[in-house]
Structure 1
Amino acid sequence: MPEFSESDAAAVSTLRSAVMRLSRRLRNQRVEESLTPTEMQVLATLARCGSASPGELARKEHVQPPSMTRIIAMLEEKGLVRREPHPDDRRQVVVSSTEQAESILNQSRAKRDAWLAELAGGLTEEEWALLRAAAPVLERLAQL
């Protein structure tokens, strides 16, 4: 871990606080109120990564396999995922999202993008330029 100066430590703290507040506000911009944030995240992971076994989803979402089994059951009951036999191992299943789930995700992204764009409309040109430049760096941090 690099050695941080006092001003670097303050910047890290400010970044953490701002990202957490913004994330919380973005999560409140929901299309489907009956889905928990965890359920939405599982659907987003399926959309991003494609079909996966329950074990793979549990690892990607950093939850225990029994918890993922319950989440999948809830999503299946709502018609948002389907279980199919694993192509290589018939003892396992593969989970994939349905068209309804994809529609909810697309609507949710559009709503959140519109909300964020409205907020960004209140920035100065200089602030917006800085934010555009910082977006790839924030994406990289999110992937580490």
Structure 2
Amino acid sequence: MPSLTVPAPVVAPPSAIKASQCRPGTLAGELRISLLRTARRVRMERSSSEITDAQYSVLHALANLGPLTPGVLADREHVQPPSMTRTVAALVEAGLAARSEHPTDRRQVLVTITTAGEQEVRETKRRRDAWLAKRLADLTLAERATLAEATEILRRIATA
């Protein structure tokens, strides 16, 4: 019995990029808007609507870096210490972080992520990756290859 073949989907060729779109000033504006919109959409994918983006960012830092003082967290997150105090208090109240005594400076406290906080970070990462993977699966192989190249370029830009 002959096998049935499914025809490949017809994909429109990418639109021609004009030289004017490649000028650094023009490209900077368009790329910035696209990156911000994409980042905003990805951030919407999280495991809980109970915590804010700022609180999630602190949890993510604690998950990756381990226990930190509120002062270090404030510096990392570019916020004032009173704002970080409120953020930490909310995370502690939600059971996602805990405060403990600093081992060498009794005037300080350390903030650590709890098991529930680690689960929050893992689930949010899973949801974000799943959302993006679903969108990437709808692209052609050539488009995904272009994005793979762009990822490396963006990484270089971000670390320059």
Instruction: Determine if the TM-score, normalized by the shorter chain, exceeds 0.5.
Output: yes
* Aligned counterpart, 1:71: 87
| 1:27 to 2:37 alignment | no
Which sections of structure 2, spanning at least 5 residues, go unmatched? 1-20
> In 1, Cα distance between the equivalents of 2:45 and 2:95?
22
Cα deviation code 1:43-96 (max 9, x no counterpart): 011112211000000000000000000100010000011111111111110101
Contact kept in structure 1, 2:46 and 2:125, CA below 8 Å: no
- Scaled by the length of structure 2, the TM-score of the pair is 0.82
Q: What pairs with 1:30-41 in structure 2 (closer than 5 Å)?
A: 30-41=46-57
Q: Paired residue for 1:103?
A: 119
Query: 4+ residue stretches of structure 1 with deviation over 4 A?
Result: none
Structure 1 position 140, deviation (Å): 4.2
Report how many residues are paired.
Answer: 140
Question: What RMSD over aligned residues (CA atoms) do the two structures have, in Å?
Answer: 1.6
**TM-score, normalised relative to structure 1:** 0.91
Question: What is the one-letter code of the residue matched to 2:47?
Answer: V
Task: Identify the structure with the greater helix proportion.
Answer: 1
SS of 2:64's partner is helix
Q: Distance in 2 between matches of 1:98 and 1:143?
A: 31
- Runs of at least 5 residues in structure 1 that lack an aligned partner in the other structure: none
- Could you tell me how far apart the structure 2 residues matched to 1:53 and 1:85 are? 10
Residues 87 and 57 from structure 1, CA distance in 2 versus in 1: closer, same or farther, beyond 3 angstroms?
Answer: same
1:7 aligns with 2:19: no
Structure 2: distance between partners of 1:9 and 1:77: 46
- Matches of 1:140 and 1:67, distance apart in 2: 32
Match of 2:7 in 1: none
CA 1:111–1:136: 2 relative to 1, 3 Å: same
SS in 2 for 1:32: coil
| Structure-2 residue corresponding to 1:17 | 33
- How much does 1:138 deviate? 2.5
Cα distance, 1:142 vs. partner?
Answer: 4.1
Q: Give the structure 1 partner of residue 153 of structure 2.
A: 137
